[in-house]
Each structure stands twice: as C-alpha cells, then as structure tokens.
Structure 1
Amino acid sequence: MATTSVAQVAGSASDREEHAMASLHCQHRSYTITADVVEHPGIPTPWAGGCHITDPEGHTSKRIALPVRFAFLADLENAQRASIAHGKWLVDQRLDRGKALF
C-alpha cells in the first residue's frame, strides 16, 4: 500500500509551498515517487506537475512532466497529487507491461 507524506514547516506561505513541493512523495511497489511541481507565476494555471521516480536499486529518473494536456493546474495540492498519481501509473506500466521508465 502506498503512503504519502508532506512535511509541515513553520514560516511564510511561500516557504511552506517550496518545502511541500520538494517533500511530497510515496512508495509504490518498491519504487519511490517524488512530486516535482514548478510554479509559473502570472498564468491562470501556474503549477506544472511532474515527478521523479527512484527504482529499488537507487536509480532516479529525470523530471517526468505530466502529459501536456494535464500539465498545468491552478492549485499546488492538486498538481502534487496528479504528479504522484502519474508516477504510480508509470511504475505500473513499467512493472506490468515492461515499458521503459528511464
């Protein structure tokens, strides 16, 4: 079963958001998925979702962005959740269908 955690930090809202962006992660089928959400201020949907995946041997992928149609979201939390969900789907594709991950 996958677990997800976000560390809580004191300070300004931007400090909490920056820390949360770096710390949302989960374990899924022995792989670690870490959300990597990038802010693009000034647009209606400023949060670009993506993730890094680390396999059981310790190899970590480059940043894998969400598909273009779903890449930008208006809310940080939704972008993080979508990023983790996409990472889980990619791990499932790798393990169940043999698709390349790295």
Structure 2
Amino acid sequence: MSMKECVHRDYTITADVVEHPGIPTPWAGGCHITTPDGRTTKRIALPIQYAFLAELESAQRSSIAHGKWLVDQSLDQGNTLF
C-alpha cells in the first residue's frame, strides 16, 4: 500500500488504497480526511461502482479526487463528514 495526500480548502486528504491480490482490479480506493481542527475520518471508500481499479496510481488519484469532492460537499452543501 502506498499513501498520497493533498490539502484542499484547509482539509488534508490522504489516499488509503488497499491491495486485493489475485483479481483483475486489485486496488480498492479510499481516503481519510483531516479537518483543520485535527479530527480525522474513518476510511471512506470510493462508491462501489468505482471502488476497484487496475493501477495503484489511478486508485490514489481517484481517492484524492473523491476526498476533495466530499470536502466540497461538506463545506458548500452542509453534508457531514463524520
């Protein structure tokens, strides 16, 4: 497993990609989001139709993009992260 992170609107998004060897798309995407006040979410998986990817880099990029979208939804639409 490899981790990649970015800061988006003062929230830190960390890709949490898990390998499932033996299947054609072995990388399960997900992320953790850390708020500006230091709280961190549990692992938030990608939606099931997009959860498994064939390449690690794609899974990491998708996980970060999903985390950014979740932060935007939280700040702009009032959806909760926790």
Same structural fold, with TM-score higher than 0.5 when normalized by the shorter chain: yes
Match of 1:25 in 2: 5
Unaligned runs of 5+ in 1: 1-17
Q: Normalising by structure 1, what TM-score?
A: 0.79
After superposing on structure 2, the runs of 4+ consecutive aligned residues of structure 1 that deviate more than 4 Å are none
What number of residue pairs does the alignment pair up?
A: 82
Residue 73 of structure 2 corresponds to residue 98 of structure 1: no
CA distance in 2, matches of 1:45, 1:32: 27
- Tell me the percent identity: 74
Match of 1:78 in 2: 58
Bigger relative contact order (CA 8 A; separation at least 6) = 2
Residue 38 of structure 2 corresponds to residue 58 of structure 1: yes
Amino acid at match of 2:53: L
Greater gyration radius: 1
Unaligned runs of 5+ in 2: none
Q: Normalising by structure 2, what TM-score?
A: 0.98
Larger helix fraction of residues: 1
